[in-house]
A = this chain, B = another copy of it.
């Protein structure tokens, strides 16, 4: 709470819930989040809130915990799936199926800033933990719900996971090789992108509360969030009437912007405007393409991208990827090799940015996870705590409640 002491905010709760962990001075220092979410989407959001300095109290089912604890890969029995998104959190075992457990949750929410939950619509209501009830005891509470389809609409009660919303949002229908089957994005963006929108909604509500003094309800649907990232595909369909399908690695309306075959592997070139296209042609010695009517501007190049690709690959195929990366980098043309995960985690730029961190877990030992990309100069995000064992902070957190009673 230290960083807030210089500001007399009439709406700030005086939440002295015990000693804050040393050094918790991120942008969200002083914010307490009660986290009822499991698996990946909600926990990804609360990890970001924790990285930014919020105190995240993760409520877990006694004896079993977050379902993610049962999902591999495992190292010495500790789930790396769980560890990768649960650092900077405290774990409290609490049985929400019992009246006593629910009363403790209510007590926690009375002094909390944010509640995040991802149960199916109706579950929190059934437990008497609905927004209206909790708001009546703490009008400042921000009550954030994350579901597959939202709190409204005909499908509100349907269950969802990553691949369900990847399929239903249309993203699978536009991913994959041309003529091939619909393809799931290899990372769980059906969970992760909603986790990011959930975070934006929560922090925006925290900001707004500084002016209104009031919390509010946030209703995030995984499907909504994935529809949002279709932007260009919706625009394309609406303006042409043609259903977009998988088109391999090229961009639907920019060229050259694709994977190209070099002598020993794939190379990415992204020349998104006329000036970059000119630089590309000069750099690889194909100046004649700049005079070609088929390639005179981006719409023309995009229309004739297949011809252009063939002509470029006739040249690119003669030398290895590393040669072309050097040539194109010197010319200022956006380009890249296609890296594997082992290459990514040891890449000098990734390491220089602190994007690979080491946690020391009680069972698994040293574990590498990704860092935070939110580089704020005065209040940088910090990874201060490894992922918790189940119930590791039950005593500490519940004791505070007694001392404030």
Task: Identify the closest chain B residue to A1 (Cβ).
Answer: B211
Contact B7 A210 (CB under 8 A): yes
Is A13 located at the chain interface by the 8 A CB criterion?
A: no
Task: Please measure, in the bound complex, the distance between the C-alpha atom of A258 and the C-alpha atom of B184, giving whole angstroms.
Answer: 9
Q: A124: shortest Cβ distance to chain B, in Å?
A: 15
Q: Does A348 contact B (CB under 8 A)?
A: yes
The proximity string for A residues 214-252 relative to B, scoring 1 for CB distances below 8 Å and 0 otherwise, is 101111110111011111111111111001111111110
Tell yes or no: A298 within 8 A of B by CB: yes
Contact status A168-B70, CB under 8 Å: no
Do A175 and B175 touch (CB < 8 A)?
yes
Q: Is A128 an interface residue (CB 8 A)?
A: no
A154 within 8 A of B: yes
**A272 CB to nearest B CB, Å:** 6
Residues of the B chain whose Cβ atoms lie less than 8 Å from the Cβ of A172: 249, 259, 338
A339 contacts B235, C-beta separation under 8 Å? no
Given that A367-B238, A369-B234 are known contacts, is A270 also in contact with B163, CB under 8 Å in the complex? yes
Q: Sample 16 A-B pairs with CB under 8 A, ordered by A number.
A: A3-B211, A3-B212, A67-B273, A71-B272, A167-B259, A167-B336, A167-B339, A171-B186, A176-B177, A192-B193, A207-B207, A216-B376, A219-B377, A221-B373, A227-B344, A227-B373
Give the segment of A79-87, A95-103, A283-291, A395-403 that binds chain B: A79-87
Q: Give A205 to B29 CA distance when docked, in angstroms.
A: 12
What chain B residues lie within 8 Å of A239 (beta carbons)? 73-75, 80, 364, 367
Instruction: Please report the total number of A residues contacting B with Cβ < 8 Å.
Output: 167
A152 at interface by CB-CB < 8 Å: yes
A159 and B207 contact, Cβ closer than 8 Å, known pairs A217-B376, A231-B370, A353-B221:
no
Interface residues of A in 183-217 (CB under 8 A from B): 183-189, 192-194, 196-197, 199-201, 203-208, 210-214, 216-217
Residue ID in chain B nearest A273 by CB atoms: B67
Partner of A174, one of B83, B213, B218, B341: B341
Whether, in the assembled complex, A162 has its beta carbon less than 8 Å from a beta carbon of chain B, the answer is yes
> Residue of B at shortest CB range from A208?
B27
Please indicate the chain B residues that have their CB under 8 angstroms from the CB of A74 in the complex: 239, 299
Q: Give the interface segment out of A15-23, A308-316, A327-335.
A: A327-335
Per-position binary interface string of chain A over residues 361-388, scored 1 when its CB falls under 8 Å from any chain B CB and 0 otherwise: 0001001111111111111000000000
Determine which of B180, B206, B211, B220 lies in contact with A4 in the assembled complex, contact meaning CB atoms within 8 Å: B211
**Pair B197/A374 contact, Cβ less than 8 Å:** yes
CA distance in complex: A344, B176 (Å):
18
Residues of chain B with a CB closer than 8 A to A177's CB: 176-177, 180-181, 183
Given contacts A185-B185, A219-B375, contact A168 B204 (CB under 8 A): no
- Give the interface centre of A85, A171, A266, A370 by most chain B CB atoms within 10 Å: A370
User: Which residues from 153 to 175 on chain A have a C-beta closer than 8 Å to any C-beta of chain B?
Assistant: 153-155, 158-175
> Which listed residue, B163, B214, B349, touches A249 by the CB 8 Å rule?
B163
**Interface check A136, CB cutoff 8 A:** no
* Residues 348-366 of A contacting B (Cβ, < 8 Å): 348-350, 352-353, 355-356, 364
Q: A9-B210, A10-B8, A211-B9 are in contact. Are A268 and B376 (CB under 8 A)?
A: no
Q: Mark A315-333, 1 if CB is under 8 A from B, else 0.
A: 0000000000000010011
Given contacts A163-B258, A197-B373, is CB(A52)–CB(B204) below 8 Å? yes
Please tell me if A404 contacts chain B, counting CB pairs below 8 Å: no
The CA of A369 and the CA of B234, in the complex, are separated in Å by 7
A192 to chain B, nearest CB (A): 5
Asked if A39 is an interface residue, CB under 8 A from chain B, the answer is yes
Question: In the bound complex, do residue A163 and residue B207 qualify as a contact, i.e. CB atoms below 8 Å apart?
Answer: no
Known: A84-B231, A173-B339. A246 touches B186 (CB 8 A): yes
